[in-house]
Amino acid sequence: MKTMLKFTIINFIIGAAITLILSTLLILGLRVFIPSLDAPQCFNDYEKCAIGDQACYDRQRQECQKKQDEYFEAHKEYAGKIFIAANISGLVILLVGIAIFAFGLGTNIAAGIILAGAFGIVYGYIWGWQGPDDVLKFGVGAVVALVVIGGGVLVNRMHAKAVRELPETK
C-alpha cells in the first residue's frame, strides 16, 4: 500500500512539473517569436512647452493621443497573433499528450503535456481576446472542443479495452 502511494505521489509531481515547465516554455516561446509592444510614453512631452503656451500643450496632447491610438491598433494586431499562435501551440501540445497516452508512454507524462496544451489554449484566449473577431474565436473554440472531446472519447475507449482485458479476480 505504501509503495502505491509513493508512486501515485511521484507521478502527480512529475505530471505537475511537466505542466509547469511546458507552460512556461510556451509563454517564453510566444514572447520570443511574437515580441510585445512598448506602450507610448508621453508624460515628458509637456515639459517642452513654455509656461502658458496652450497651443504647444494642445499639440503635445494631440501627438500623444495619436501615439496611443497607433499603439492600440498595433496591440490589437499583436493580440490576434498571440491568440492564433497560443491556440495552435496549445492544440499541438494537447494532441502530443493524447498521442503519448495512446502509445502507453506514461499517464503522468501524458497528463502533464495535456494540461500544458490546455493552458496554452486558455492563455491564447485570455491574452489574445481583443485581437481576433468573434467568428475566429468561435471557430477556434469549436476546433478545440472537438479535439478535447475526441481525445476524451479515445481515452475512454482505451480504458474500456484495458478493463475488458484485465484478468478476473475472485
Q: Which residues of the chain have pLDDT under 50?
A: none
CB 19 within 8 A of CB 116: yes
The pLDDT, as a whole number, for residue 1 is 67
Instruction: Report the distance separating Cα 107 and Cα 1, nearest Å.
Output: 20
Q: Determine how many CB atoms are found less than 10 A away from the CB of residue 159.
A: 10
Burial of 11 (0-12, 13-18, 19+ CB in 10 A): middle
CA torsion through residues 66, 72, 77, 82, sign: positive
CB 103 within 8 A of CB 9: no
Amino acid identity, position 46: Y
Q: Determine how many CB atoms are found less than 10 A away from the CB of residue 79.
A: 18
Query: CA separation (Å) from 37 to 20, 25, 60, 81, 135?
Result: 25, 20, 22, 12, 25
HSE value, Cβ hemisphere, 13 Å, CA-based, for 49: 15
